[in-house]
Structure 1
Amino acid sequence: MKTHILHIADQKNIPSTSLHLNSTISFTKIIQEIRKRVNPQGAADMDPLMMRLKQLTDEPRFVQPMTLEETGEFPLQMAHIYRMLVPGLAREEDNLIAFCPPLEPTVFYGTDAFYDLMMDKSFERLNCQVIEDCSTLSKDYVRLVYSVILEKLYGFPPIPQALQTISIIDECTGLPRYYRVNIDNSYVDVSPIGELPLFNLERLRKGWQEKLDPSVILEVLPLSLFTFDGFSILSLTDITIDYAQEELKNILINRDRGNAEAQYHQITGSLRTLVGSPHIEFDLIPLIRVNNRLIINPSTIRTSPIHHRLVEAGYPENKLQELGEEYFDHPELLFMPTMQVDDSSPEYLQIFKSVGVNSFALMPVYCSRELVGILNIYANKDGEVNEAVMAKLDLIMPLAEQILQKDILAFNRRLDEVIKDEFTSLQDSVEWKFKEVAWDFLKHEGEPQEPGKKRLQKINFKDVFPLYGAIDIRNSTLERGDALQADLEIQFAALINTLTLIGKRAGFGLAETMLYNARNFIEKIRNNRSDSDEVQLQYFLESELHPFLRHFESKGQADQPQDEIAIAIADYFARIDEQKGAAFANRRALEASMGMVNTAINQYLDLVKIEVQQTYPIYFEKFRTDGVEYDIYIGQSIAPERPYSPLYLKNIRFWQLSSMAAIGKMTHHLVPSMEKPLHTTQLIFIHSGSIDIAFRDDERRFDVEGGYNIRYQVIKKRIDKVHILQTGERLTQPGKIALVYFNEDILKEYLAYISTLQNQNILLNDLELLELEELQGVNGLKALRVGINFEQ
Structure 2
Amino acid sequence: MNYHIYKESPFQTIISFHKLIEILEQIATTDTMYRADYAKAILKEIEAIPQLKNGITDYADIKKYELIIQHLLADLFPTALTHNEIKAVTIPFQNFTFNYTERFKNILANAGSDFDMSIRNFDAHQFYINNCCLILKAYYKQNIDFNKPFFYDIPDKNGVIYHYRILYNADFMEIIPTEKAVSLTQEDIDLLIDNYNAIDLWKEKFPEGSWILKGFGIITLFDATTENAISILKTNLIKSDIKKISSTVEIENIFKSIFKIENLHFGFVIYNSEEKKFIRPKQYKNDIKSFIMSDTEQIDCGNPFFGCSFNNLLENSEPFVISNVEQFALLPGSEIMGQHLLHQNIKSCVFAPILKDDKLLGIIELVSEKARELNSVNATKLDLILPYLVDTIERYNTDKQHQIEAIIQREYTTIHPSVYWKFKQESEKYFDTLNHTKDYILKEIIFKEVYPLYGQIDVKSSSNFRNKTVKEDLKKQLSMLLDIVSTENEISKLMLLEQRKFELQSQLEQLNEPLRADTEQQIQRYIETEIHPLLKNPKSSPETKKREALYFENLDEKSGMFYHERKKFDNAMAIINKKLANILDQKQVEAQQIYPHYYERFKTDGVEHNLYIGASITPSKPFDILYLHNLRLWQLQTLCEMELEHHYLKTSLPYELDVTSLILAFSSPISIRFRMDEKRFDVDGTYNARYEIVKKRIDKAHIKGTLERITEKEKITIVYSHSQEESEYLKYIKYLQFKNILEPEIEQFEIEDLQGVSGLKGIRVKVKNTQKKSREKISYQDLLNELN
In the superposition, the TM-score normalised over structure 2's length comes to 0.50
How many angstroms apart in 1 are the aligned matches of 2:119 and 2:91?
A: 23
Which residue identity lines up with residue 270 of structure 2 in the other structure? P
How many angstroms apart in 1 are the aligned matches of 2:41 and 2:323?
A: 54
Provide the residue aligned with 2:545 in structure 1: none
| Aligned residue among 230, 253, 265 for 2:238 | 253
1:630-779 to structure 2, matched below 5 A, reads 634-637=452-455, 705=588, 707=590, 709-713=592-596, 740-741=621-622, 743=624
SS in 2 for 1:93: coil
Displacement after TM superposition at 1:408 (Å): 3.2
Which residue identity lines up with residue 128 of structure 1 in the other structure? D
1:241-267 CA distance string (max 9 Å, x none) = 23321231122122634367x644443
C-alpha contact 1:191 1:228 (8 A) present in aligned 2: yes
Q: Is 1:21 equivalent to 2:3 in the alignment?
A: no
Displacement after TM superposition at 1:601 (Å): 9.0
SS in 1 for 2:33: coil
C-alpha contact 1:102 1:229 (8 A) present in aligned 2: no
Which residue identity lines up with residue 97 of structure 1 in the other structure? K
Q: Is 1:216 equivalent to 2:55 in the alignment?
A: no
Provide the residue aligned with 1:236 in structure 2: 221
1:512-537 CA distance string (max 9 Å, x none) = xxxxxxxxxxxxxxxxxxxxxxxxxx
Q: Is 1:278 equivalent to 2:278 in the alignment?
A: no
SS in 2 for 1:18: coil
Provide the residue aligned with 2:374 in structure 1: 385
1:680-702 CA distance string (max 9 Å, x none) = xxxxxxxxxxxxxx999999x98
SS in 2 for 1:140: helix
Provide the residue aligned with 2:96 in structure 1: 106
How many angstroms apart in 1 are the aligned matches of 2:30 and 2:118?
A: 50
1:716-738 CA distance string (max 9 Å, x none) = xxxxxxxxxxxxxxxxxxxxx98
Which residue identity lines up with residue 453 of structure 2 in the other structure? G
Give the unaligned 5+ runs of structure 2: 459-576, 598-617, 628-788
| Aligned residue among 335, 348, 360 for 1:371 | 360
Which residue identity lines up with residue 236 of structure 1 in the other structure? L
Provide the residue aligned with 1:654 in structure 2: none
How many angstroms apart in 1 are the aligned matches of 2:255 and 2:159?
A: 14
| Aligned residue among 262, 269, 280 for 2:253 | 269
C-alpha contact 1:272 1:278 (8 A) present in aligned 2: yes
Provide the residue aligned with 2:138 in structure 1: 152
In the superposition, the TM-score normalised over structure 1's length comes to 0.50
| Aligned residue among 575, 600, 604 for 2:443 | 604
Which residue identity lines up with residue 604 of structure 1 in the other structure? K
Provide the residue aligned with 2:494 in structure 1: none
Which residue identity lines up with residue 367 of structure 1 in the other structure? K
Aligned residues: 479
Provide the residue aligned with 2:700 in structure 1: none
| Aligned residue among 398, 408, 413 for 1:409 | 398
SS in 2 for 1:236: strand
Provide the residue aligned with 1:334 in structure 2: 320
Provide the residue aligned with 1:9 in structure 2: 4
CA RMSD of aligned residues (A): 5.2
SS in 2 for 1:384: coil
Alignment CA distance shift 1:329-1:115 (3 Å): closer
C-alpha contact 1:169 1:177 (8 A) present in aligned 2: yes
Provide the residue aligned with 2:687 in structure 1: none
How many angstroms apart in 1 are the aligned matches of 2:295 and 2:457?
A: 59
Displacement after TM superposition at 1:741 (Å): 1.8
How many angstroms apart in 2 are the aligned matches of 1:25 and 1:182?
A: 19
| Aligned residue among 155, 177, 185 for 2:162 | 177
Which residue identity lines up with residue 65 of structure 1 in the other structure? N
How many angstroms apart in 2 are the aligned matches of 1:697 and 1:399?
A: 49
SS in 2 for 1:110: coil
Alignment CA distance shift 1:257-1:316 (3 Å): closer
Alignment CA distance shift 1:637-1:242 (3 Å): same
1:24-45 CA distance string (max 9 Å, x none) = 2221212334566x59764322
SS in 1 for 2:132: helix
Displacement after TM superposition at 1:88 (Å): 6.8
How many angstroms apart in 2 are the aligned matches of 1:226 and 1:703?
A: 68
How many angstroms apart in 2 are the aligned matches of 1:249 and 1:364?
A: 18
Q: Is 1:143 equivalent to 2:143 in the alignment?
A: no
Displacement after TM superposition at 1:706 (Å): 5.8
How many angstroms apart in 2 are the aligned matches of 1:330 and 1:131?
A: 45
Which residue identity lines up with residue 127 of structure 1 in the other structure? F
Alignment CA distance shift 1:702-1:596 (3 Å): farther
How many angstroms apart in 1 are the aligned matches of 2:207 and 2:287?
A: 58
Displacement after TM superposition at 1:170 (Å): 2.3
SS in 2 for 1:416: helix
How many angstroms apart in 2 are the aligned matches of 1:382 and 1:469?
A: 61
C-alpha contact 1:288 1:297 (8 A) present in aligned 2: no
Q: Which moved more, 1:299-308 or 1:147-156?
A: 299-308
SS in 2 for 1:304: coil
Give the unaligned 5+ runs of structure 1: 1-5, 11-15, 431-465, 477-589, 617-631, 641-693, 715-736, 747-792
Which residue identity lines up with residue 167 of structure 1 in the other structure? D
Provide the residue aligned with 1:187 in structure 2: 172
Which residue identity lines up with residue 705 of structure 1 in the other structure? Q
SS in 1 for 2:19: helix
SS in 1 for 2:130: helix
Which residue identity lines up with residue 78 of structure 1 in the other structure? I
Alignment CA distance shift 1:82-1:158 (3 Å): farther
Displacement after TM superposition at 1:229 (Å): 1.4
Percentage of pairs with the same residue: 15
Q: Is 1:296 equivalent to 2:279 in the alignment?
A: yes
SS in 1 for 2:176: strand
1:281-317 CA distance string (max 9 Å, x none) = 3332232233x432423538964353466879x9999
Alignment CA distance shift 1:41-1:51 (3 Å): closer
1:161-560 to structure 2, matched below 5 A, reads 161-171=147-157, 173-194=158-179, 197-207=182-192, 209-254=194-239, 256-258=241-243, 263-290=247-274, 292-299=275-282, 303-304=288-289, 306-307=291-292, 319-320=304-305, 326=311, 328-339=314-325, 340-341=327-328, 342-346=330-334, 349-352=337-340, 355=343, 356-386=345-375, 389-422=378-411, 424-426=412-414
Provide the residue aligned with 1:502 in structure 2: none
1:639-691 CA distance string (max 9 Å, x none) = 99xxxxxxxxxxxxxxxxxxxxxxxxxxxxxxxxxxxxxxxxxxxxxxxxxxx
Displacement after TM superposition at 1:275 (Å): 1.3
